[in-house]
């Protein structure tokens, strides 16, 4: 093993960027592989285009004749791009995407190949979906799943070096119409939010209200490791993280990586990656080095949530593929290296429409401020009431390693508003900020207060859920996760809060027709009940962990085993049912799928740890021990007496490691659990605990065994050599 490790070090030290073509100008490549409205306008008749545009913007149903016309245009466009196959792409309940490819080809009676693609083929597909997790939503006798075209997310071409496939973003449902994917709930949550927001805005006297949507801009962190190292790390290849590895002498304590010069190989990779995103119509906007060595971030410009979610999935796919082309393994795991910063995905989220604008933007005018205060209040209430749900949507075995660790937002959901805005809400609560009505103009003096400086210095980076000037940023989301789950939870909790606000506002307006007075009354009540969730201090501190739970009554749920059962809370079930986002059985199926995934990924890691310890680390330790002891023996025969404490330490750690391996092996044999909660708890406590024991001894051995005899690339190598 060590020979290949040393060869890898040598090869990587001298590695050069791969040769690439001259970059193409942005206007030539932007969305060149996307069948978007602009492409359709060129190829469709005026009437057909009008119908499609209506569907894209409002979700109106497309008639069969128009669907045929769109399908034909889409096919011609795809064929001209070299595509021979098409695929509905869908988003199952895992964090992955799924696709089934079909050829455009049919042969006629003369044996000639012709191509065919009808409206019905475009609209509906039937993948053999029985292998996707469905959480008992589909019994095997009803194993049919359907995909259906989502016209609001544009189709595109996926290129490989010698082929291309037309990809059609789709929903995925059972034959009885239950949502088997992450897209259907997202679309439903948008409608629920739209409906509730319209109620509030109407009560606020708005007359023209266009459809509301949420926006999402997701900042994606990731690590790059040279694939020559990754090739001899089965843990990186199979689990996406290192299960072993001692701390390097030079860690990130130097912080010189953050925003540092991006090494040339990485720079070349990034430009290639971004060019591909541009071709796919994904607006890559910023990139930089992250805190940890070997860690980077990419953030596209924000888009409508549904499109942003599809683009996020595509971005992760393109990231991995392009990294490979450049000789890197891209790690999306939340904590690939213990003791080094983990990776998150900051989900920036706002809601708005074309008539009222961004409702989370305080703006400069008092009337707009009132709408803003209501929507912001709705978020505060939502996070307080459904914090455990938000936590559950980001729960995974991999994110558990990051949440609550030193550098990541804690596993306690609180809201950060910033000093100015926090004061406004606290003052409304205590009555220090009185609504005053002078001559029909609402002058709260808020217009000055609420014109926030959008200064990053004002940001609290320790909060899991922070207001950042004109949006909220959910920072506890994991780097490998789909953004859909968090977006569904945020949209739905907002819908619920806006419904509550609408009810209260109606009563308040009946008592006092002045909007300002009514809004203040509603917000006062809201703050009294839910203001406890606002926290501007250091979210990483031990003091907050104690205070949050004991004084504020917030929940601290450090592991997935603690967090996922929130899906079974009655309040959560009522939330999803009343808003029409998820039926009780759809919700239950998600709980089943996620808990199964949690258990599975921990069991896979445990087996891998056993394997690497037994077949890699133990042999290396024993080999070196035998060298040491024979050297000591030879020395002793030559009359030289030597200290044997290193040899003894290797022997005892190797023994202890194998004992821990045996215990872990035994622990994995236990299968009789009364309920899935019990099984998750067992994984979180017993299995993870034993894996840590094995790792402890193994990492000690890494510091004792000769460097040349160590089988796996070390942290210092994987993180620093580029």
Q: Alpha-carbon distance 193 to 479, whole Å?
A: 26
Binding of Mg ion by 401 (CB under 5 A): no
Binding of Mg ion by 346 (CB under 5 A): yes
Minimum Å distance from CB 347 to ligand ADP? 9
Binding of Mg ion by 345 (CB under 5 A): no
Binding of ligand ADP by 471 (CB under 6 A): yes
Which residue is listed with tokens 């490989």? 160
Q: Give the one entry of Mg ion, ligand ADP, none that residue 172 binds, where binding means its C-beta sits below a cut-off of 5 to 8 angstroms depending on kind.
A: none
> What does each C-alpha distance from 707 to 1, 500, 624, 629, 710 come to in angstroms?
12, 64, 10, 17, 5
Q: Give the one entry of Mg ion, ligand ADP, none that residue 470 binds, where binding means its C-beta sits below a cut-off of 5 to 8 angstroms depending on kind.
A: ligand ADP
Q: Give the one entry of Mg ion, ligand ADP, none that residue 175 binds, where binding means its C-beta sits below a cut-off of 5 to 8 angstroms depending on kind.
A: none
Q: Alpha-carbon distance 709 to 615, whole Å?
A: 14
Question: 19: which DSSP letter?
Answer: P
Minimum Å distance from CB 286 to ligand ADP? 5
Binding of ligand ADP by 220 (CB under 6 A): no
Minimum Å distance from CB 193 to Mg ion? 22
Q: Give the one entry of ligand ADP, Mg ion, none that residue 215 binds, where binding means its C-beta sits below a cut-off of 5 to 8 angstroms depending on kind.
A: ligand ADP
Binding of ligand ADP by 219 (CB under 6 A): yes
Question: Which position among 256, 301, 324, 600 is part of the footprint of ligand ADP (CB under 6 A)?
Answer: 301
Q: Tell me whether residue 216 or residue 390 sits nearer to ligand ADP (CB atom).
A: 216
Q: Alpha-carbon distance 668 to 679, whole Å?
A: 11
Q: Which stretch binds ligand ADP (CB under 6 A): 234-242, 269-277, 300-308, 483-491?
A: 300-308
> What does each C-alpha distance from 684 to 4, 250, 562, 591 come to in angstroms?
35, 31, 9, 17
Q: Tell me whether residue 86 or residue 467 sits nearer to Mg ion (CB atom).
A: 467
Question: Which position among 58, 286, 354, 636 is part of the footprint of ligand ADP (CB under 6 A)?
Answer: 286
Tokens of 457: 């210095």
Q: Tell me whether residue 8 or residue 298 sits nearer to ligand ADP (CB atom).
A: 298
Binding of ligand ADP by 452 (CB under 6 A): no
Cα torsion for 169, 344, 5, 711, to the nearest 10°? -110
Q: Tell me whether residue 217 or residue 404 sits nearer to ligand ADP (CB atom).
A: 217
Binding of ligand ADP by 348 (CB under 6 A): yes
Binding of ligand ADP by 91 (CB under 6 A): no
Binding of ligand ADP by 25 (CB under 6 A): no
Question: Which position among 299, 318, 498, 684 is part of the footprint of ligand ADP (CB under 6 A)?
Answer: 299
Q: Alpha-carbon distance 50 to 47, whole Å?
A: 5
Question: Which position among 25, 431, 456, 639 is part of the footprint of ligand ADP (CB under 6 A)?
Answer: 456
Return all residues near 130 (Cβ < 8 A) that are at least 6 apart. 138, 140, 143, 145
Q: Which stretch binds Mg ion (CB under 5 A): 82-90, 342-350, 408-416, 655-663?
A: 342-350
Q: Alpha-carbon distance 496 to 484, whole Å?
A: 18
Binding of ligand ADP by 151 (CB under 6 A): no
Binding of ligand ADP by 350 (CB under 6 A): yes
Helix H or strand E segment including 357? strand 357-358
Helices (H) and strands (E) in the chain, counts: 26, 20
End-to-end CA distance of the chain: 21
Q: Tell me whether residue 1 or residue 211 sits nearer to ligand ADP (CB atom).
A: 211
Which residue is listed with tokens 């789909």? 482
Minimum Å distance from CB 454 to Mg ion? 12
Q: Alpha-carbon distance 118 to 74, whole Å?
A: 10
Minimum Å distance from CB 297 to Mg ion? 9
SS3 521: helix
Binding of ligand ADP by 369 (CB under 6 A): no
Q: Tell me whether residue 169 or residue 300 sits nearer to ligand ADP (CB atom).
A: 300
The residue count for binding Mg ion (CB under 5 A) is 1
Binding of Mg ion by 385 (CB under 5 A): no
Q: Which stretch binds Mg ion (CB under 5 A): 12-20, 221-229, 346-354, 426-434?
A: 346-354
Tokens of 535: 């926290």
Q: Give the one entry of ligand ADP, Mg ion, none that residue 302 binds, where binding means its C-beta sits below a cut-off of 5 to 8 angstroms depending on kind.
A: ligand ADP
Judge contact between 245 and 703, C-beta under 8 A.
Answer: no
Judge contact between 107 and 114, C-beta under 8 A.
Answer: yes
Q: Which stretch binds Mg ion (CB under 5 A): 195-203, 343-351, 442-450, 642-650?
A: 343-351
Q: Give the one entry of Mg ion, ligand ADP, none that residue 159 binds, where binding means its C-beta sits below a cut-off of 5 to 8 angstroms depending on kind.
A: none
C-alpha neighbours within 13 Å on the C-beta side of residue 28:
4
The residue count for binding ligand ADP (CB under 6 A) is 16
Tokens of 329: 């393994």
Binding of ligand ADP by 217 (CB under 6 A): yes
Minimum Å distance from CB 480 to Mg ion? 18
Identify the burial level of 218 via C-beta atoms within 10 angstroms of its C-beta, where 0-12 means exposed, 13-18 middle and 19 or more buried: buried
Judge contact between 192 and 266, C-beta under 8 A.
Answer: no
Minimum Å distance from CB 283 to ligand ADP? 8
Minimum Å distance from CB 186 to ligand ADP? 15
Q: Tell me whether residue 349 or residue 594 sits nearer to Mg ion (CB atom).
A: 349
Judge contact between 590 and 443, C-beta under 8 A.
Answer: no
Sign of CA dihedral 20, 23, 28, 34: positive
Beta partners for residue 284, in sequence order: 300
Instruction: Summarize the chain as % helix, strand, coil (round to 5).
Output: 50, 15, 35
SS3 223: strand
Binding of ligand ADP by 149 (CB under 6 A): no
Tokens of 558: 């450090």
Tokens of 502: 């609408």
Q: Which stretch binds ligand ADP (CB under 6 A): 22-30, 260-268, 344-352, 437-445?
A: 344-352
Q: Tell me whether residue 161 or residue 456 sits nearer to ligand ADP (CB atom).
A: 456
Minimum Å distance from CB 357 to Mg ion? 22
Q: Alpha-carbon distance 175 to 146, whole Å?
A: 7
Q: Tell me whether residue 426 or residue 459 sits nearer to ligand ADP (CB atom).
A: 459
Q: Give the one entry of Mg ion, ligand ADP, none that residue 286 binds, where binding means its C-beta sits below a cut-off of 5 to 8 angstroms depending on kind.
A: ligand ADP
Q: Alpha-carbon distance 590 to 134, whole Å?
A: 8
Binding of ligand ADP by 470 (CB under 6 A): yes
Residue nearest Mg ion by beta-carbon distance: 346
Judge contact between 608 and 150, C-beta under 8 A.
Answer: no
Minimum Å distance from CB 24 to ligand ADP? 24
Smallest CA-to-CA distance from 472 within 360, 574, 396, 563 is with: 360
Residue nearest ligand ADP by beta-carbon distance: 217
Q: Alpha-carbon distance 121 to 38, whole Å?
A: 23
CA angle in degrees (0–180, nearest 5) for 548-553-554? 60
Q: Give the one entry of ligand ADP, Mg ion, none that residue 301 binds, where binding means its C-beta sits below a cut-off of 5 to 8 angstroms depending on kind.
A: ligand ADP
Smallest CA-to-CA distance from 304 within 279, 333, 283 is with: 283
Binding of ligand ADP by 312 (CB under 6 A): no
Binding of ligand ADP by 358 (CB under 6 A): yes
- What are the residues binding Mg ion (CB under 5 A)? 346
- What are the residues binding ligand ADP (CB under 6 A)? 215-217, 219, 286, 299-302, 348-350, 358, 456, 470-471
């Amino acid at each position: 093993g060590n020979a290949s490790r040393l060869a890898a070090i040598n090869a990587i030290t001298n590695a050069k960027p791969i040769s690439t073509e001259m970059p193409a100008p942005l206007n030539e490549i932007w969305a060149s592989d996307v069948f978007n409205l602009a492409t359709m306008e060129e190829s469709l008749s005026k009437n057909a285009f009008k119908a499609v545009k209506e569907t894209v913007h409002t979700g109106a149903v497309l008639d069969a004749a128009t669907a045929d016309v769109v399908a034909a245009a889409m096919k011609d466009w795809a064929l001209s791009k070299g595509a021979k196959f098409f695929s509905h792409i869908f988003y199952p309940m895992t964090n992955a995407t799924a696709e089934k490819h079909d050829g455009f080809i049919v042969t006629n009676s003369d044996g000639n190949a012709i191509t065919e693609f009808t409206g019905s083929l475009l609209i509906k597909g039937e993948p053999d979906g029985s292998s996707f997790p469905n959480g008992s939503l589909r019994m095997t006798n009803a194993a049919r799943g359907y995909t259906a075209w989502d016209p609001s997310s544009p189709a595109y071409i996926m290129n490989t070096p010698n082929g291309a496939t037309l990809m059609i973003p789709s929903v995925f449902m059972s034959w009885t119409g239950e949502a088997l994917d992450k897209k259907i709930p997202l679309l439903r949550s948008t409608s629920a939010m739209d409906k509730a927001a319209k109620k509030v805005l109407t009560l606020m006297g708005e007359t023209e209200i266009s459809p509301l949507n949420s926006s999402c801009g997701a900042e994606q962190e990731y690590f790059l490791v040279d694939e020559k190292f990754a090739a001899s790390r089965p843990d990186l290849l199979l689990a996406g993280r290192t299960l072993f590895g001692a701390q390097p002498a030079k860690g990130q304590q130097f912080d010189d990586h953050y925003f540092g010069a991006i090494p040339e190989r990485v720079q070349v990779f990034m430009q290639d990656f971004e060019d591909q995103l541009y071709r796919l119509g994904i607006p890559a906007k910023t990139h930089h080095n992250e805190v940890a060595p070997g860690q980077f971030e990419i953030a596209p410009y924000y888009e409508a949530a549904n499109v942003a979610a599809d683009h996020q999935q595509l971005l992760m796919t393109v990231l991995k593929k392009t990294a490979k082309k450049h000789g890197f393994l891209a790690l999306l795991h939340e904590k690939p290296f213990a003791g080094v910063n983990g990776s998150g995905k900051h989900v920036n989220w706002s809601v708005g429409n074309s008539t009222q604008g961004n409702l989370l933007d305080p703006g400069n005018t008092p009337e707009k401020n009132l709408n803003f205060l209501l929507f912001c209040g709705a978020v505060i209430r939502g996070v307080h009431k459904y914090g455990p749900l938000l936590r559950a949507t980001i729960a995974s075995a991999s994110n558990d390693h990051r949440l609550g660790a030193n550098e990541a937002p804690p596993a306690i959901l609180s809201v950060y508003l910033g000093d100015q805005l926090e004061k406004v809400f606290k003052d409304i609560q205590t009555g220090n900020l009185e609504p005053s009505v002078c001559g029909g103009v609402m002058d709260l003096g808020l217009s000055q207060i609420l014109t926030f400086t959008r200064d990053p210095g004002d940001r609290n980076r320790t909060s899991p859920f922070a207001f950042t000037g004109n949006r909220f940023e959910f920072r506890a989301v994991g780097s490998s996760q789909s953004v859909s789950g968090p977006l569904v939870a945020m949209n739905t909790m907002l819908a619920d809060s806006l419904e509550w606000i609408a009810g209260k506002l109606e009563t308040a307006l009946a008592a006092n027709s002045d909007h300002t007075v009514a809004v203040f009354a509603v917000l006062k009540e809201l703050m009294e009940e839910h203001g406890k969730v606002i926290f501007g201090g250091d979210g990483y501190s031990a003091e907050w962990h104690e205070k949050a739970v004991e004084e504020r009554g917030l929940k601290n749920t450090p592991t997935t085993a603690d967090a996922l059962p929130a899906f079974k809370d009655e309040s959560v079930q009522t939330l999803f049912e009343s808003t029409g986002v998820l039926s009780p059985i759809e919700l239950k199926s998600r709980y089943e799928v996620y808990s199964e995934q949690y258990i599975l990924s921990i069991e896979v890691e445990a087996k891998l740890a056993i394997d690497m310890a037994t077949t890699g680390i133990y042999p290396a330790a024993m080999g070196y021990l035998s060298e040491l002891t024979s050297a000591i023996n030879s020395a002793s025969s030559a009359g030289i007496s030597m200290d044997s404490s290193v040899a003894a330490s290797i022997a005892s750690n190797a023994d202890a490691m194998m004992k821990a391996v045996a215990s872990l092996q035994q622990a994995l044999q236990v299968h009789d659990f009364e309920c899935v909660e019990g099984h998750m708890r067992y994984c979180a406590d017993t299995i993870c605990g034993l894996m840590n024991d094995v790792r402890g001894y193994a990492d000690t051995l890494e510091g004792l065994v000769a460097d040349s005899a160590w089988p796996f690339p070390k942290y210092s190598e994987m993180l620093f050599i580029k």
